[in-house]
């Protein structure tokens, strides 16, 4: 709905932490010489991947870090959003003439209590205390960004988690990184390769259709249902 109205939707999340340990998975090896990984490893810190993901295009903006407190996450997010907003066309249409999905009131549930710049971007992220801090929320509003929070216990609704699982598998599965910097390099290289040929994400796509068909095969039998011949009158 938002994308159709010219309002890009981005999802933000942090993937990890990833340890310097062997990761199970497939790898390319000569026939008869399978990859072998040690059962022992040395702990050398962890790495995380700050991620911004636009499902409609598949574009990913990401940065590898060794820790992700608000002091690291918020400046990075502001920098990335500033670059994204700078590339968008200028919003000149009056608020009451814009599509409903491009109006603040649609997402706030009411008209804003104070003047705001035109709505230009939706940001989906998790319902965490740091994401609710007034300093970052105020910055978002002042730049035309509407934050939308996933419900508690519903972080899976954030599509950034979906792309992070793919990136992690491609970067780490079947390998044994020795340092956190190696993890960061592999993750960022994988993001660059993904962006060279990104895949858009949609709800209720082909995977959902396959799950529905599989469910029907498991159920089997006739779709008929019994009907009470003597229903109780209301």
Alpha-helix runs per DSSP H in the chain: 70-86, 104-108, 134-142, 160-172, 180-196, 206-219
In a domain, 228, yes or no: no
Residue 198 in any domain: the answer is yes
Strand 59-65 relative to strand 46-54, pairing? antiparallel
Which range is least confidently modeled, 186-190, 198-202, 210-214, 216-220?
Answer: 216-220
CB 174 within 8 A of CB 26: yes
Torsion of CA 92, 93, 98, 103, to 10 degrees: 40
Q: What is the CATH number of the domain that holds 123?
A: 3.30.420.10
* Residue 94 covered by a domain: yes
What would the pLDDT profile of 28-57 be if each residue is shown by its tens digit? 778 877 777 676 767 778 999 999 999 999
Digit-coded pLDDT (tens) for 165-186? 999 999 999 888 899 999 999 9
Query: Given this model, what pLDDT does residue 234 score?
Result: 47
The answer to whether residue 227 is domain-embedded is no
Residue 131 covered by a domain: yes
To which residue do tokens 């059962």 refer?
39
Whether residue 234 is contained in a domain is answered as no
Range(s) of the domain holding residue 46: 3-23+41-213
Q: What average pLDDT does this structure show over 116-140? A: 92
Q: What's the pLDDT tens digit per position in 69-79?
A: 999 999 999 99
Question: Does some domain include residue 224?
Answer: no
Please check whether residue 218 lies inside any domain of the structure: no
């Amino acid at each position: 709905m938002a994308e159709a109205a010219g309002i890009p939707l981005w999802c933000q999340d942090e993937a990890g932490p990833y340890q310097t340990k062997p990761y199970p998975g497939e790898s390319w090896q000569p026939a008869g010489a399978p990859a072998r990984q040690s059962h022992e490893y040395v702990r050398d810190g962890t790495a995380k991947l700050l991620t911004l993901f636009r499902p409609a295009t598949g574009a990913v903006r990401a940065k590898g870090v060794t820790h992700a407190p608000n002091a690291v996450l918020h400046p990075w997010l502001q920098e990335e959003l500033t670059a994204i907003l700078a590339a968008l066309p200028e919003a000149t249409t009056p608020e009451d003439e814009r599509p409903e999905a491009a109006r603040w009131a649609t997402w706030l549930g009411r008209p804003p209590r104070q003047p705001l710049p035109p709505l230009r971007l939706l940001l989906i992220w998790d319902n965490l205390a740091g994401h609710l801090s007034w300093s970052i929320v105020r910055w978002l509003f002042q730049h035309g960004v509407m934050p939308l929070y996933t419900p508690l216990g519903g972080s899976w609704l954030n599509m950034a988690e979906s792309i992070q699982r793919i990136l992690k598998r491609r970067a780490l599965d079947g390998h044994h990184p020795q340092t956190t910097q190696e993890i960061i390099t592999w993750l960022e290289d994988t993001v660059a390769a993904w962006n060279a040929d990104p895949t858009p994400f949609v709800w209720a796509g082909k995977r959902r259709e396959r799950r529905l068909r599989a469910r029907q095969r498991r159920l089997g039998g006739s779709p008929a249902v019994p009907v009470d011949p003597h229903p109780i009158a209301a």
